[in-house]
Amino acid sequence: MTQEQQARLQRLFLLLLLALASATACPAEEVEPEPMARAWKILKKRDWFIQRMTATPRTAQLCCDNQGVPLRGAKSPLILVARSHLILTLPQCIASNLPEVSVQIGDGEPLPAVWQKTSNIPSLEVTLPETVQSGALVVSGAGKVLWQHYAYITHALPLAPQVPAWRGVLDDACRWAKGAYTPKEIIAKLTHGLFTSGRFVYPANDPTKRATFVKRNTFALKNFLSEEGPRVGNCVDISDYLVICAAALGVPLRLVQLTDSQNRLLVTNPICPIGWDASDPESYQSVRCTMHQVAYLPGENRLFDACFFSPRTGSSTRNPVPTFSWDAAQIQNYWQSEDTTRGFVSRPHQSVPLALLSAKVPAVE
């Protein structure tokens, strides 16, 4: 072998060694980071974890925006809790030196709060009001705000079709039922609140108008919440929204359709439709319809109507409270009276109500 051939073989051998070395070398991104960089990464992860825990109290439920999209975690400015104890995790406080705190919702009285020291991260147990409430829930201590969210306090956990509950529905329901404790009181306040809210106006000039927001047992909630009102709606729209508001507060309502047992056209005594001024005598008029839909509270065996107000015995056009609420066992007394000016249905024909209790719960979209 000549000297030139030996030199060529040596060069090939060196190239082969270089190729093998580059194939087995560790990539640069897998090199162990420096201690300072590793510590910074751990610190950022801890800060994110603390922020997440601080913004998501235990026992709180999810809320939706007015488009039905759930608001989650630290991005959510809202919490929804049933009346009970709310546990707030406050890792920014030092367990060995916990400050005295003041907890308040809206402009209400201070709420009882007790520190729990069961772990290294302090937590605060807040006793919530026993009644329906809403407002900014603020925890203050050591001269600063430690925690703040807008809170909705309901009677119980929301029911279908409000799982999770929508923000616009909670705004309406908590405002109308504020301070109510029992299901009967909550629904009475919701009924009166809806009637006087200006959210709906009944089409008295066309009472046969089909429901505006309810199609195939689905309530167009996005459409309804897109405007503050007044929106045109008939008894189906109004009673369905009453059921939806009750569901957001954790109170079950059912829908009832009332017709004449002889299938005759219903001609009412002078009544004040929703969206009209119940204190103005000129607001009262006779309405013709084939069916009337109301809401039923099973536990109390009571019917509620947020669509019409009638000046029955014991009520006054200048004091429309409640709008309509009566014992379902005495429905005939509500439906038609011996006195032709009282009751829902006018004479001269005697009318016996036929009540159809619906098992359907309105869906929302």
What are the tokens at 85?
């104890």
Q: Lowest mean pLDDT of 57-61, 148-152, 316-320, name the range.
A: 316-320
The residue among 91, 119, 154 that closes a domain is: 154
Decide if 34 is inside a domain: no
Decide if 342 is inside a domain: yes
CA dihedral of 129, 134, 136, 142, whole degrees rounded to 10:
0
- The answer to whether residues 215 and 206 touch, using CB atoms and an 8 Å cutoff, is no
The DSSP code for 344 is S
Beta bridge partners of 304: 295, 325
* pLDDT recorded at residue 53: 43
Mark whether 83 and 172 lie in a shared domain: no
Is residue 139 helix, strand or coil? strand
Decide if 346 is inside a domain: yes
Mark whether 172 and 215 lie in a shared domain: yes
What are the C-alpha distances in Å from 49 to residues 55, 144, 246? 10, 22, 36
Decide if 38 is inside a domain: no
pLDDT at 301 over 80: yes
Looking at per-residue pLDDT, the higher value among 240 and 339 belongs to 240
- The answer to whether residues 268 and 308 touch, using CB atoms and an 8 Å cutoff, is yes
Per-position DSSP letters for 285-306, written without gaps between them? B--EES-EEEEEEGGGTEEE-S
State the residue range of the domain holding 139. 55-154
* pLDDT recorded at residue 252: 96
Mark whether 319 and 234 lie in a shared domain: yes
Mark whether 120 and 176 lie in a shared domain: no
* pLDDT recorded at residue 3: 58
pLDDT at 201 over 60: yes
Q: What is the Cα–Cα distance from 309 to 345, expressed in whole angstroms?
A: 13
Report which of 203, 197, 241 is spatially closest to residue 219, judged by C-alpha positions: 241
The DSSP code for 181 is -
Close Cβ partners of 364 (under 8 Å, ≥ 6 residues apart): 68, 161, 162, 166, 218, 219, 220, 221, 244
Determine if the pTM surpasses 0.95.
no
Q: What pairing do the DSSP bridges indicate for beta strands 325-327 and 308-309?
A: unpaired
Looking at per-residue pLDDT, the higher value among 38 and 169 belongs to 169
Most confident of 184-193, 281-290, 332-341: 184-193
Q: What is the Cα–Cα distance from 174 to 321, expressed in whole angstroms?
A: 18
pLDDT at 5 over 70: no
The residue among 97, 125, 154 that closes a domain is: 154
Q: What is the Cα–Cα distance from 279 to 297, expressed in whole angstroms?
A: 28
Q: What is the Cα–Cα distance from 315 to 248, expressed in whole angstroms?
A: 29
Decide if 329 is inside a domain: yes
The DSSP code for 91 is T
Confidence of residue 330 (pLDDT cuts 50, 70, 90): confident
Mark whether 143 and 218 lie in a shared domain: no
Q: Name the domain count of the chain.
A: 2
Q: What pairing do the DSSP bridges indicate for beta strands 63-64 and 70-71?
A: antiparallel
* pLDDT recorded at residue 278: 83
Amino acid found at 60: A
Mark whether 234 and 354 lie in a shared domain: yes
Give the relative orientation of helices 235-248 and 167-176 as an angle to the nearest 10 degrees. 90
* pLDDT recorded at residue 244: 98
Number of H helices, E strands in the chain: 7, 24
Average pLDDT rounded to a whole number, residues 344-348: 87
Q: Lowest mean pLDDT of 19-33, 160-174, 192-206, name the range.
A: 19-33
Q: What is the Cα–Cα distance from 212 to 161, expressed in whole angstroms?
A: 19
* pLDDT recorded at residue 122: 82
pLDDT at 283 over 60: yes
Mark whether 260 and 112 lie in a shared domain: no
Q: What is the Cα–Cα distance from 208 to 264, expressed in whole angstroms?
A: 15
Residue 215: other Cβ atoms inside 10 A: 11
**CATH number for the domain that contains residue 106:** 2.60.40
101: region left, alpha or beta (phi > 0 left; psi from -120 to 50 alpha): beta
The fraction of the chain above a pLDDT of 90, given in percent, is 47
Longest pairwise C-alpha distance within the chain: 133
Mark whether 81 and 207 lie in a shared domain: no
What are the tokens at 164?
């999770």
Average pLDDT rounded to a whole number, residues 207-211: 74
Q: What is the pLDDT of residues 41-85, one digit of tens each?
A: 655 555 444 444 444 577 778 889 999 998 876 567 788 888 888
Amino acid found at 199: R
Amino acid found at 53: M
* pLDDT recorded at residue 128: 92
Q: What is the Cα–Cα distance from 159 to 186, expressed in whole angstroms?
A: 15
The DSSP code for 262 is T
Mark whether 74 and 95 lie in a shared domain: yes
Mark whether 90 and 139 lie in a shared domain: yes
Mean pLDDT estimate for the chain: 83
Beta bridge partners of 136: 150
* pLDDT recorded at residue 313: 45
